[in-house]
Structure 1
């Protein structure tokens, strides 16, 4: 199994970054426009269409407002993955900035390089988007949160 771990600093407050990240149905507008061209949500499945035509059906595993973390797994689409699980989390950094952490585990190992390239490209767009303009008000706000006591 390949594990891809990336961290970047974003010159925006953790609250603004989290507001865009947690708006799971608006990735193509609020988080990574151009890199993601469409996002649709039905129940716990988010279908993401990327600019290159790749489609990923993602099970939203966790959306935690307390820890500013989302976790998801690719469960269908045009990827031929045996396993995919990822999480994105926002932490406060110095001077009002945010530290954005994206961790992805994937098999087979032959997908490590292409998935890492997508993560790197996505992070560049996310940083540009969130530093360039404030995020708009969220349109969809799922109420799912994790309960760490269970």
Structure 2
């Protein structure tokens, strides 16, 4: 199994970054607009996300760990036989965060493609979170 590890610093406090990450149904608006173009919840604990490159994926929420600012999900029904990812936010000094995103994927040959997508997603997240902060939560 291939493991892809991405880490980057965000010039925004950990609580702000975590608030955007944990908003599972608004990832396209609050965390990675431009990289993601749409997101809908399917009523079964998953979101259907559309990427700017045309890819569509069903991401099933595995868990949200509030105290550790960690979210985990798995992609179901795709070409990979296994895809599990987690993202976690750490405080990294005043007004700064460290964002860690880890994906395990099978077959190993998918690692290059997934890694490239994660690079693009990381750029979109960092840009969004640093510009004006994430978009506010949608009213429930």
Fold-level similarity (TM above 0.5):
yes
| d(CA) in 1 for partners of 2:138, 2:65 | 18
Query: TM-score, normalised to structure 2's length?
Result: 0.95
What is the DSSP-based 3-state SS (H/G/I as helix, E as strand, rest coil) of the residue aligned with 1:96?
A: coil
5 Å-filtered alignment, 1:60-75, equals 60-75=61-76
**For the aligned residues, what is the CA RMSD?**
1.2
What is the DSSP-based 3-state SS (H/G/I as helix, E as strand, rest coil) of the residue aligned with 1:26?
A: helix
* Counterpart residue number, 2:122: 123
Q: Would you say 1:9 and 2:9 are equivalent positions?
A: yes
| CA spacing shift, 1:140–1:119, aligned 2, 3 Å | farther
| d(CA) in 1 for partners of 2:72, 2:53 | 23
5 Å-filtered alignment, 1:107-118, equals 107-118=106-117
Query: TM-score, normalised to structure 1's length?
Result: 0.89
* Counterpart residue number, 1:106: 105
* Counterpart residue number, 1:30: 30
| d(CA) in 2 for partners of 1:50, 1:28 | 9
* Deviation of 1:96 (Å): 2.1
* Deviation of 1:136 (Å): 3.0
| d(CA) in 2 for partners of 1:90, 1:140 | 24
Shift >3 Å, 4+ stretches:
none
Q: Which runs of 5 or more structure 1 residues have no equivalent in the other structure?
A: 142-150
The number of equivalent residue pairs is 139
Q: Which runs of 5 or more structure 2 residues have no equivalent in the other structure?
A: none
| CA spacing shift, 1:28–1:5, aligned 2, 3 Å | same
